Amino acid sequence: MSNFLDELRNDHRDFDSGKLTDFFPQTPFELFELWFNEAIKNHEKEPNAMVLSTCDIKTYQPSSRVVYLKELLDSQFIFYTNYSSQKGKEIDLNPRASVLFFWPGLQRQVRIDGNVKKVGSEISDAYFTSRPRASQLGAWASHQSDKLEQRVILEQRFAELEKQFTHDIPRPENWGGYGLQPFIFEFWQGRPSRLHDRIVYEKQNSSWEIYRKNP
């Protein structure tokens, strides 16, 4: 391990993929869509993967995990999960959260802070119906974030559900979508000499204030 860490410490590669000008779209959603499409064209692996960070207000302990952006709807970043999971419980107590997109090939990050709330049941139903049958069964089988003594218990539960649901599988009541409504975007572009570009959009009433940050 120490040799591996030594290699990392001695890795002084510079950032030289691009830069940000001082002419920006009026809204951060326009810039995000531009960057997202460029990530797809650049063949970034899983460009819709985002790190979701939530915080338990009882202990003030943050927690992070990778989820997938499934839709940008009405200026909300939509993802799906089990409402009874750790992140679901933390969102119930503290609806403020942060997501982070990282596209290493383009040397770019986008951090988005906002308020999270459940989407309408019709949106969750439509997405659940579109999922593969095995994924639908998995949503029923997994008591997400609960302790699991043996994996075989989960597999047995899955097998039982396969027999139970012979036709259409309904969406579990404790599974569905959340929408993050942003109030801050930070666009990060790697630049030479670690003089990176950091462009912030901050919501001010009905408009967005745009400014730079020191790297």
Catalytic residue among 9, 111, 194, 212: 194
SS3 132: coil
Q: Where are the domains of the chain?
A: 16-129+173-212
Fold of 16-129+173-212: Pnp Oxidase; Chain A (2.30.110)
Does this model's pTM top 0.85? My answer is yes
Query: What burial class does residue 198 get, using C-beta atoms within 10 Å of its C-beta: 0-12 exposed, 13-18 middle, 19+ buried?
Result: middle
pLDDT attached to residue 24? 85
Q: What are residue 80's DSSP bridge partners?
A: 177
Answer yes or no: 133 catalytic. no
Residue 109 and residue 21: Cα distance in Å, rounded? Answer: 16
Q: What is the pLDDT of residues 81-122, one digit of tens each?
A: 999 999 999 999 999 999 999 999 999 999 999 999 999 999
Give percent above pLDDT 90 in the chain: 86
SS3 119: coil
Task: Of 7-11, 41-45, 136-140, give the lowest mean pLDDT range.
Answer: 7-11
Model confidence at 29: pLDDT above 60 = yes
- HEC profile for 144-205? CCCCCCCHHHHHHHHHHHHHHCCCCCCCCCCEEEEEEEEEEEEEEECCHHHCCEEEEEEEEC
Query: What burial class does residue 162 get, using C-beta atoms within 10 Å of its C-beta: 0-12 exposed, 13-18 middle, 19+ buried?
Result: middle
Q: Please measure the distance between the N-terminal and C-terminal CA atoms of the chain and give it in whole angstroms.
A: 30
Over the chain, what is the mean pLDDT?
92
Residue 73's pLDDT band, with cuts at 50, 70 and 90, is: very high
